[in-house]
Amino acid sequence: MFFKSRSTKFGILALVARLVLAVLIPTHAVSALAESKAESAMTGLQTAVFAGGCFWGVDAVFKHVKGVASVESGYAGGSAGKANYKAVSSGRTGHAEAVRVRFNPAQVTYPQLLQVFFIVAHDPTQLNRQGPDVGSQYRSAIFFTDTEQQKLALAQIQQLSTDRTYGKPVVTQVTALQQFNLAEPYHQNYLALHPTQPYIVINDQPKIEHLRKQFPALYQ
């Protein structure tokens, strides 16, 4: 099973923060950056948003990283009105399938999450596709929530390019997060609920093992 063990303390605080935001401000009336800052102030957690192909596998990878409190699948890069699976699958909404990672910076740093993203979660040299999935909705992207994340993401890409880690250019986009729209409930925690589905077995289960071998100190 691939369910994540969460800290009760952080789970309760995160829930309280989200309930307060939901009561005070309509869901789409607050910017993603403001929401991220408010929740960070209340819970001590920070937010990272990554896109790297089908969100099922990316979600599962980050759920196995120590210090990660929660991971949610969703859509980023386009408008809220077009944030549904059918529309996004057309490749014409501007959205990418993405995951929102809430993490404890005292346990895992943003640069460490970037390493997992680039080395384990996907192939950052594939343009507008990832493995068998083709289209701009499967692009490689980092949606930063502040200028520090932007700086760190760009520095990581530069280092990968300087080291010629892949032998091919990194095509990952780095752009500010405008909003994050949750995907439909049946997409959430997908790998854990469908571990034997052929797509999952072929494309995503190997990522979990790669994480364990590549980053044993971060694996849980």
At 32 the pLDDT is 62
At 13 the pLDDT is 42
- Cβ–Cβ under 8 Å, residues 51 and 174: no
Q: Is 193 a catalytic residue?
A: no
Mean pLDDT per 10-residue section of the chain, whose length is 220 residues:
39 42 37 67 91 98 98 96 95 97 98 98 98 97 98 98 94 97 98 98 98 98
- Cβ–Cβ under 8 Å, residues 145 and 48: yes
Task: List, in order of start, the domains of the chain with CATH numbers.
Answer: 8-214 (3.30.1060.10)
Of 14, 54, 83, 120, the catalytic one is: 54
d(CA 12, CA 6): 10
